[in-house]
Amino acid sequence: MLYGGLHMKKVPNSATAHAAVVRKTRGRKPHSKTVNGLVITAISLMSVLSLVFIGTGFYILHLFDIIGSDSADDVSYVDSLPDEVDSGYEAIDDYKEIEEGAASVAEIPVRGNTKNIKNYMLIGVDSRRKNFVGLADSNIILTLDSKNKQIKLTSLLRDTLVTIPGRDRNNDGKDDYAKFNASYAYGGFDLLSKTVEQNFRLKIDQYITVNFTAFTETIDKLGGVDIYLTAAEAKWIKVGTTAKVYHLNGGKALAYARIRKLDSDFGRTDRQRKMLTAMFKKAKGMSVGTLNSILNAFLPKVDTNISANELTGFVFNSSTYFSYTMDKTFHLPPNGEYRSAPEFGLGSVLYLKDPAHAVTELHKFIYNG
């Protein structure tokens, strides 16, 4: 019918409408309540998952955005270092034995990440400024062994004599020799990783670099750590006079990790590994929310090429990694397999007696259970 120029559809009365519904549904099997419930549940689940994925995406972007945001942008590397670090290849008078050792190492296949082994380089830079320029004071390979549920720590001693790939200051066509810690100062992680690959036959692609500021603030964010100190160590960092477990804040933890003159660089790297183990144990008892808070405070103060997606995975899978043991450590040079060689003109450097054997032992530690 027409009403005011508009075509209006006649609405049936309730009885007629009911009869029509009955006719339409007669002979058809109605949906069960169970099926309807499953559909509703599936839709609800999909909605929740969508929100989770969207939220995770924004979280990953957030982590990616804050990495290194508190650090200075004026990153540059040096061309020369103090004489005790950078005397160069020309300072070595008798290098035939060293070259023979390097040749034997070159025959060892380079190894990298596998299905069960993943290596990360942890680099501590000798700097309190908001950048990551300077000598690599600490170099630790952190290995995640998913097959044996282990986290392994390997210290590469900073005074180890190595060749620096592509560095030839005296133009003799050969790579210069220097202390290992100089490689980072010359070219950051890119050159350090090439140095590790050339001298130790390990390909390590991912890293985290921290400076003193990031280290101390992370310890404080954890609420401090508990470390057993010898009487000499306690006196050295001025926290006590007896051997026992001490609770250290960020400043004292840094002082402990940097002790060197008390014994040697071997003792110093051992303390650094103990510090990482103590931090790991402390983090074990924390919730995902607390770990996320620490991560958000930590990332702006570090330099890393680990993806935000992978960092997120570390947080979400923290319970898995916290079930791993963390009691295996190694250092290069190994005990008894080096000699101090100040006669090379490089200060107190550590020269590997049998480089090929030392590298083989390093590979065994990382890749064997």
Average pLDDT of the segment spanning 247-254: 94
Structure confidence at residue 362 as a pLDDT band (50, 70, 90): very high
Identify which has the larger pLDDT, 133 or 157: 157
d(CA 334, CA 350): 11
Cα separation values, 312 from 49, 113, 281, 282, 290, Å: 17, 20, 20, 20, 14
Q: What is the pLDDT of residue 15?
A: 45
In a domain, 104, yes or no: yes
Residue 162 contacts residue 101 (beta carbons within 8 Å): no
Identify which has the larger pLDDT, 311 or 75: 311
Q: What's the chain's Rg over C-alpha atoms?
A: 30
Determine which of 72-76, 151-155, 190-194, 343-347 has the lowest per-residue pLDDT on average: 72-76
* pTM score, whole prediction: 0.73
Q: What is the pLDDT of residue 342?
A: 58
In a domain, 10, yes or no: no
What are the tens digits of pLDDT across the range 266-321?
A: 888 889 889 988 988 888 888 878 887 887 777 777 888 988 788 778 877 888 88
Q: What is the pLDDT of residue 1?
A: 45
d(CA 154, CA 108): 19
Number of domains in the chain: 1
What are the tens digits of pLDDT across the range 173-207?
A: 888 888 898 899 899 999 999 999 999 999 999 99
Share of the chain above pLDDT 70, in %: 68
Average pLDDT of the segment spanning 41-65: 48
In a domain, 181, yes or no: yes
Q: Is the pLDDT of residue 331 over 80?
A: yes
Q: Is the pLDDT of residue 369 over 90?
A: no
In a domain, 43, yes or no: no
Share of the chain above pLDDT 90, in %: 34
Identify which has the larger pLDDT, 222 or 16: 222
- Nearest CA among 111, 27, 131 for reference residue 365: 111
Average pLDDT of the segment spanning 99-117: 87
- Rounded to 5°, the CA angle 140-146-148 comes to 95
In a domain, 345, yes or no: yes
Residue ranges of E strands in the chain: 2-3, 6-7, 117-125, 136-145, 150-156, 161-163, 177-179, 206-210, 225-229, 244-248, 302-304, 325-332, 338-340, 350-352
Question: Residue 100 sits in a domain of what CATH number?
Answer: 3.40.630.190
Q: What is the pLDDT of residue 24?
A: 46
Residue 70's domain comprises 54-221+285-367
What are the tens digits of pLDDT across the range 111-155?
A: 999 999 999 999 988 665 555 667 788 899 999 999 999 999 999
In a domain, 276, yes or no: no
Whether the bond between 300 and the residue before it is cis, its omega within 30 degrees of 0, is no
The kind and range of the H/E element at 104 are helix 96-106
In a domain, 251, yes or no: no
Mean residue pLDDT of the chain comes to 77
In a domain, 152, yes or no: yes
